[in-house]
Structure 1
Amino acid sequence: MRQPSCPRPSRPRLSCLAVLVCAMGLTCAAVAQSPQPTFRLVSQSPASSPAAPAVSGAELHDIAVDAYVYAYPMVLMELTRRNATNVQTPMDGRAPMNMFGHKTAFPDARTPDVRWPSTDTLYSSMWYDVSREPVIVRVPDAGNRYYFLSLLDMWTDVFASRGTRTVGNRPQTFAIVGPYWQGTVPPGVEVVRSPTSMGWVLGHVQTNGSADYPGVNQFQSGLVVQPLSTVSPAYGQTGKTYMPVTGNVDPSLNTRTPPADLVASMDAATFWGIFSEAVRNNPPHANDYPMLDRLRRIGLGGNPPVAYSRLDPTVQQALAQAGPEAGRRIADYVAGLGSGYNGWNTVSEGIGTYGTDYLRRAAIAYAGLGAGVPEDVMYPVTSIDSKGRALDGDKDYVLHFDKGQLPPVNAFWSLAVYGPNQTFAENQAGKYAIHSNDALKYNADGSLDIYIRHKAPGRDKQDNWLPTPASGPFMLNMRMYWPRTIALDGAWAPPPVRRD
């Protein structure tokens, strides 16, 4: 009998986290439909019998709910990894393991299935596996561009950020090594230890309009990954040019359905089968052991983890029934994320590193898998004006910044308009965002007005015009790259959007 499926947390109307990864099309894009994948469970000896849980009743239920919340990010990351690497060669942001895939052009209003697209940066993505040996990552000179590479482990924690803010723009070479690896790397190579054997490198590269594509694409092509054994004499270097291997394609993978939706529709056996397999090579964090002790009380945990089919039937039932409540908890947490001021919702802390706050980690993974640290970029979002009314395309608005009150950043900022489906709104100007490095016109007193409306505001205001849909609700997303402390600590907030 099929167990009840894990719930689909209802997406909130507005999430400032969902902009983080959907723009790459890695977790939100739809491609060819394939059958639902089959996942292998960790087997146990047929002679063994399920051990009765040490708890029952309400306590069993509570632990089962906590278990789902704890495991959710790992399962979502694993499905996303399988989706993003299920290609023979790099294509449209996807690539085989240990290779970069790149987005080489901006999406527009006609680009399907890309939520919260961006015209600020082009994206590069690399899923790595260092279980056998480290990989060497080479980054070229970035010139005057702002960029950053977020390195995430399989639990979604950002364990390193490499880029303008942290290491500067000169060429760099670093080695991603596994949690237990011991060895040496070539001189000049910095060791970056991944807490898990697999993980994700997600890069953002400043792009100043479509005319800047060639320069950015050249930088992207200079992002090179290769195994340590191909560059270090200690590992049998042959001196031959390294040729990346061709990836393996699994035609049974369902790469059409977003991974978050796949997880939401899973039965408990599939969910725990994926988790059991993924966690074998991607160990828990050191501070997770109180949670692991809690999970062992219902028969979960161990190395290798116990297969779902070998759990006591009462535990199987508890895990299946816990799914809906876990989903509700995640959804409720997502809906309450961020702090609001002047109608804007901003999340500026507790992103990218979570400690033992497993509910927050799960909620942020669901809302925007791949979330980096706010020190690299912040995403204030609003869907209301200064009086709390929903933004509507048939109204005219002004966003006014007093002199000295522009978004406080060390790099640059932007403001983009999105329709109700979090996609760019079609407009005759083909303009979807305003950027701080655009030729904006400032007022005589040094203040800045951005005119947010469907119709052009007139020739003298054209440069500061941000087109909206002809009618209906829309949202505004501000992106602040390398925000200053005054923004990170909440002392600065965007001004309210006023109806003109």
Structure 2
Amino acid sequence: MIKNRREQFPFHLACAALAGVAFLAGCSSTPIVAPKPTGWIKDEVADSYVFAYPLVLMGTARDAAVGTGPGQAPINTVRHGTALPPVGAHNPPTPGIDTLDSTAWLDVGDEPVIVSLPASPGRYVDARALDMWTNVLWSTTDSQGASRAAGIKAQTVAFAKPDWKGDLPKGVKRIDAPTRNVWLDVRIQTNGAHDLTAVRKVQRGIRVAPLSVYTGDASPASVAPRSLSADTGASGSPADQVAALDAKGFFDRVAQLLPDNPPSPADPHALKFLADLGVQPDDPVELPSTATDAIAGGLADGRARVATPPTNMVMGNGWSWFGDGVGNYGPDYALRAYAAYAQPGIGTKDDEVRASVSLDSDGHALNGANRYVMHFAPKQVPPVRGFWSVTAYTKDGALGESAPAYAAVGDKAGVRRNRDGSIDVTVSSVRQRKAANWLPAPRGDFQLVLRLYAPKPEASDGTWAPPAVVRQ
């Protein structure tokens, strides 16, 4: 729950102050008004920014992805990734290179939307659906658990408004969606460029359609989402576009998104904070006109808090990752905002664990001019039911100069074990021909990301940690 940190101005002190001024001023007819405190405005702007950041980010990502331009697809239509590494202007930082993604933005405002997934024997598939507050509504782990590590069975689900009443086709599982829009992401394991043809065959079996189209009662038609605002000329990733918004621009987006996407969980206290600031669903936003500095300060504080790892992150040997609360945040707004900022679209602890590190064992920044070794002891190998990989990125999350075919080391990429079952991974920008497992790194400062697909419980409860990165 967001704490109300409004600063109350003592009424009795105000009266005494005004009485003293009146005495000194004699019979002056000009009233003197004490300035009103604005500290509460700064606090509530910051709290509201953290609270609403995931909603604004998802709305911006939706608008960037929905359309008929390059890299876009209409609403209720699947867009298939076709290349590794993924390409496009709207990719998140630290793009994965172990899977091809098929994504769709669903609109369940008028009727349910049906999603069908084909069977994928022998091939890991991870499908998840997020509401507009980044809570995971459904994933393949809900119905099939760890079995998806070896492929999933054919399945069909329907996303519907909670108050929708009607009949679904036989065998279709209903999932209630608290927000009008839902983001679907289907990730299909690939074993490199030679495997892409087989992956694309699985992609072609994915079907998304409104109920009326699915049953044949209507012809396919694209339904445009509500427009958030006029084109501001913003460029870059969705996160960059949100970061570029001033306070009014940010809260305008919040007001426009709220009618179709109420908070989950419902939080009257957080909505009151927004109302205090002049933010009402679907109404023009009028922020307090006499508190410019307080609003600017609150916006800066909110941005800083969103980009700061919360204290309930799991940490070990310099690495940090999300634990049990990820994907289903409840009122943990700090964790929810940071997860949206740092790992857009992250699933639950049963879907994926993604650990990152940017410092070596001595606390120095990782840099491609040096050579490092990660030693996984036999009992420290990443605990997964699926598979794992580690990749090096620039500080900004790009792949750098690494060739895609050699950009990751993992158990699906031919990792070599030592005789005792341990694993040594050598990391550097210069090829290490004698190293059993060489991971190429950018030439400058870089970060490592370790991905665990279908992780075991110890990967998220703090009983396991990746090894330290040791400079040689």
Aligned counterpart for 1:485 among listed residues 457, 466, 471: 457
What is the distance in 1 between the residues matched to 2:176 and 2:459?
A: 30
Change (3 A) 1:446 1:274: closer
What is the distance in 2 between the residues matched to 1:63 and 1:248?
A: 30
Superimposed CA distance per residue, residues 201-237 of structure 1 (whole angstroms, 9 cap, x where no aligned partner): 12221111111111111111211111111234xxxx4
Higher relative contact order (CA 8 A, sep 6+): 1
What is the distance in 1 between the residues matched to 2:172 and 2:393?
A: 42
Secondary structure of 1:334's match?
A: coil
Match of 1:277 in 2: 256
Superimposed CA distance per residue, residues 131-190 of structure 1 (whole angstroms, 9 cap, x where no aligned partner): 001111110011122222221111111122125637840100110101321211011000
Aligned counterpart for 2:40 among listed residues 59, 62, 72: 59
Match of 2:426 in 1: 451
Could you tell which deviates more after superposition, 480-489 or 247-256? 247-256
Secondary structure of 1:379's match?
A: strand
What is the distance in 2 between the residues matched to 1:59 and 1:429?
A: 50
**Percent same amino acid among aligned pairs?**
35
The amino acid that maps onto 2:439 is L
Secondary structure of 2:385's match?
A: coil
The amino acid that maps onto 1:375 is D
Superposition pairs for residues 35-54 of structure 1, below 5 Å?
A: none
What is the distance in 1 between the residues matched to 2:371 and 2:293?
A: 55
Change (3 A) 1:95 1:167: farther
Q: Report if aligned partners of 2:64, 2:90 keep a CA contact under 8 Å in 1.
A: no
Secondary structure of 2:83's match?
A: coil
Aligned counterpart for 1:308 among listed residues 285, 288, 307: 285
What is the distance in 2 between the residues matched to 1:83 and 1:113?
A: 10
What is the distance in 2 between the residues matched to 1:167 and 1:153?
A: 25
Change (3 A) 1:314 1:416: same
Superposition pairs for residues 53-452 of structure 1, below 5 Å?
A: 57-87=38-68, 92=71, 94-107=72-85, 115-162=93-140, 165=145, 168=148, 169-232=152-215, 237-238=216-217, 242-243=219-220, 245=222, 252=231, 254=233, 256-301=235-280, 304-309=281-286, 313-314=289-290, 319=295, 322-331=298-307, 333-334=308-309, 338-427=313-402, 431-452=406-427
Answering whether residue 471 of structure 2 is matched by residue 499 of structure 1, we say yes
Q: Report if aligned partners of 2:38, 2:291 keep a CA contact under 8 Å in 1.
A: no
What is the distance in 2 between the residues matched to 1:110 and 1:117?
A: 11
The amino acid that maps onto 1:323 is L
Indicate the RMSD between aligned Cα atoms, in angstroms.
Answer: 3.1
The amino acid that maps onto 1:63 is E
Secondary structure of 1:422's match?
A: coil
Aligned counterpart for 1:468 among listed residues 441, 446, 464: 441
Match of 1:39 in 2: none
What is the distance in 2 between the residues matched to 1:118 and 1:490?
A: 24
What is the distance in 2 between the residues matched to 1:408 and 1:390?
A: 27
What is the distance in 2 between the residues matched to 1:346 and 1:249?
A: 35
Residue 337 (structure 1) shift: 7.0
User: TM-score if structure 1 supplies the norm length?
Assistant: 0.77
Q: Report if aligned partners of 1:109, 1:424 keep a CA contact under 8 Å in 2.
A: no
Q: Report if aligned partners of 1:429, 1:467 keep a CA contact under 8 Å in 2.
A: no
Match of 2:26 in 1: none
Change (3 A) 1:492 1:104: same
Change (3 A) 1:379 1:84: same
Superimposed CA distance per residue, residues 257-293 of structure 1 (whole angstroms, 9 cap, x where no aligned partner): 2222222222333323222221111122353123224
Secondary structure of 1:412's match?
A: strand
Superimposed CA distance per residue, residues 16-64 of structure 1 (whole angstroms, 9 cap, x where no aligned partner): xxxxxxxxxxxxxxxxxxxxxxxxxxxxxxxxxxxxxxx9643344333
Could you tell which deviates more after superposition, 397-406 or 292-301? 292-301
Secondary structure of 2:304's match?
A: helix
Could you tell which deviates more after superposition, 211-220 or 290-299? 290-299
Residue 249 (structure 1) shift: 13
Paired residues, what number? 430
Change (3 A) 1:285 1:264: same
The amino acid that maps onto 2:306 is I
- State which structure, 1 or 2, has the greater radius of gyration over its C-alpha atoms: 2
Change (3 A) 1:294 1:473: closer
Q: Report if aligned partners of 1:148, 1:204 keep a CA contact under 8 Å in 2.
A: yes
Secondary structure of 1:79's match?
A: helix
Secondary structure of 1:149's match?
A: strand
Could you tell which deviates more after superposition, 212-221 or 282-291? 282-291
Change (3 A) 1:131 1:320: farther
What is the distance in 2 between the residues matched to 1:368 and 1:484?
A: 20
Change (3 A) 1:255 1:107: farther
What is the distance in 2 between the residues matched to 1:261 and 1:194?
A: 27
What is the distance in 1 between the residues matched to 2:79 and 2:164?
A: 26
Secondary structure of 1:403's match?
A: coil
Q: Report if aligned partners of 1:287, 1:356 keep a CA contact under 8 Å in 2.
A: no
Match of 1:35 in 2: none
Change (3 A) 1:185 1:314: farther
Change (3 A) 1:315 1:282: farther
Match of 1:31 in 2: none
